[in-house]
Structure 1
Amino acid sequence: MDHKYVVNPMPKQINDEVRELLSTVETATIGHFRFWGFCDREIRPMLRGKHVVGTAVTLGIPGPDSTLLHHAAGLLRPGDILLVDRLGDNTYACWGGGVTAAVKASGATAGIVDGPTTDLAELEESDFPIWSRGIASITTRMYDLGGRMNVPVSIGGVVVHPGDVILADESGVLVLPLAEAEQEARRALDLQAKLHVHEAALRRGEFKLGAHTGASDLVKQSLAP
């Protein structure tokens, strides 16, 4: 029998060690050495200054309908991040002030929507971290069209599995398989420490950026007669 709705069990949450390691890692630091797992840059933070780490809970709902989203809001746990695949729709806003209030009340960490949101003033007032493709006026309704929860979804061109590690900040959204998250976090923390030292030295005028990176040598070699 083909059910309109599929609601799979909630995924195992990420462990405290991984959460702590990533708590000070910037997505852009990992972007120095990793190419995959970064969502389309059009999925942007609706609030400034937010940095979140959490467990991926996934949802796929069709364009004008948000029935399953309202149900899912009641299943979320502290530490979860709800990622909503809009199945290619970029017209209907499924997430606004009411959904924000419900998701925030669950203790969940954040919401990420591959489509527009609405009620910007209410989102800002809630201080709840949201990433989306912007703001729209046309909203979803209770059309009961169906949906899927805790299945693989597509968010900004990235396949997200329930239980994946989500890191999101002002620079974007990164999806990491749990098996890779600790290694990538430690590598990023080491790189961040080195970058902070180098940037401090640059501000003091101790060396030129091109000399340090080798860029100046490459340019000079090309210009040499």
Structure 2
Amino acid sequence: MTPVVAVDLPPKLTGKIAPDRILMTRTPRPPHGLVEGFKSIVDASSVISDIMDEMGITGATGASVLKPTIAGSTMVGPALTVRNIVQREHVYETARGHVNRMAEFEAHNLALPGDVVVIDGVAGISNMGGISAQTGKRQGEVGAIVQGGVRDVGHSRRVGYPIWATEITPVTGKWRIETIEINGDIQIAGVRVSPGDIVVADETGVCFIPLERAPEVLARALEKASSETRKCDAIDAGVSVADLPTNA
């Protein structure tokens, strides 16, 4: 678990979430070269999933669960986490009173270039829309993971902000969702995710790698990727199936 640290609040908050619910204003940063190393791996989610199995780490989810909104997209970066719940009041009351307690924009406010916003959200409701995606893109985020609905997919595609989400829906979260915590531990598809954990996403799936174990995962994943490259080269060279090198 990533420790909660006392830090100064940023100079400007959106006002939709209490300051004491922002557990860290800056996510832990990965060691130099770590993100670039994971980016260099072809078919990264499959390779990393195998390595995490060998290391006893739970953290991989398929793209049939977290579906990419932009075909062919890949992303790697530290997680900036958000937790949403359903508002207590009825939607007709909150919509009439314009009671909007969504605060993923506060996560954008805190984001550093290269971050991945990871939302433990609400099913059947949009936890992120097009304007939010455009804001995230401007802030330098590489994309988002959302357990729950998203909307305005065309908008996020146009601005080049990839999202992996469990659902797509036009139903707004503005009057239905309350953001109760930013940069705390969350759970995505049964996987615990802490702020700063490394997110690797591609067309095959998403891997959440605990930050403290990420250097070892990377080292072993690079070895496996190199071994698979040698095997593919042997296939292209016409080596018989019986003589193909095996992957350890």
Distance 1:146 1:211, change over 3 A: closer
Query: Any conservation in 2 of the 1:97–1:119 contact (CA below 8 Å)?
Result: yes
Q: Distance in 1 between matches of 2:243 and 2:68?
A: 32
Give the drift of 1:90: 1.7
Amino acid at match of 1:32: D
**Count of residue pairs brought into register by the alignment:** 210
Q: Distance in 2 between matches of 1:144 and 1:122?
A: 21
| Structure 2 match to 1:29 | 47
Q: Distance in 2 between matches of 1:205 and 1:156?
A: 41
**What is the aligned counterpart of 2:73 among 41, 45, 50?**
50
Amino acid at match of 1:117: V
| Structure 1 match to 2:34 | 18
**What is the aligned counterpart of 1:167 among 168, 179, 200?**
200
| Structure 1 match to 2:170 | 137
Query: Any conservation in 1 of the 2:70–2:162 contact (CA below 8 Å)?
Result: yes
Q: Deviations over 1:107-129 (max 9, x none)?
A: 11211101121112112111112
**What is the aligned counterpart of 1:8 among 13, 19, 23?**
23
- Please give the TM-score of this superposition, normalised by the length of structure 2: 0.76
Q: Distance in 1 between matches of 2:60 and 2:108?
A: 25
Q: Report runs of 4+ in structure 1 exceeding 4 Å deviation.
A: 209-214
| Structure 2 match to 1:95 | 128
Amino acid at match of 1:16: H
| Structure 2 match to 1:193 | 226
Q: Distance in 2 between matches of 1:146 and 1:22?
A: 31
| Structure 2 match to 1:119 | 152
**What CA RMSD, in Å, does the superposition of the two structures yield over aligned residues?**
2.4
Q: Distance in 2 between matches of 1:28 and 1:52?
A: 14
Query: Any conservation in 1 of the 2:82–2:186 contact (CA below 8 Å)?
Result: yes
Distance 1:198 1:40, change over 3 A: closer
Query: Any conservation in 1 of the 2:124–2:171 contact (CA below 8 Å)?
Result: yes
Q: Distance in 2 between matches of 1:116 and 1:143?
A: 12
Amino acid at match of 2:74: H
- Please give the TM-score of this superposition, normalised by the length of structure 1: 0.84
The alignment partner of 1:115 has SS state of strand
Say whether 1:39 aligns with 2:39: no
Query: Any conservation in 2 of the 1:21–1:185 contact (CA below 8 Å)?
Result: yes
Say whether 1:85 aligns with 2:108: no
Distance 1:145 1:118, change over 3 A: closer
The runs of 5 or more residues in structure 2 that have no matched partner are 1-17, 88-99
Give the drift of 1:62: 1.4
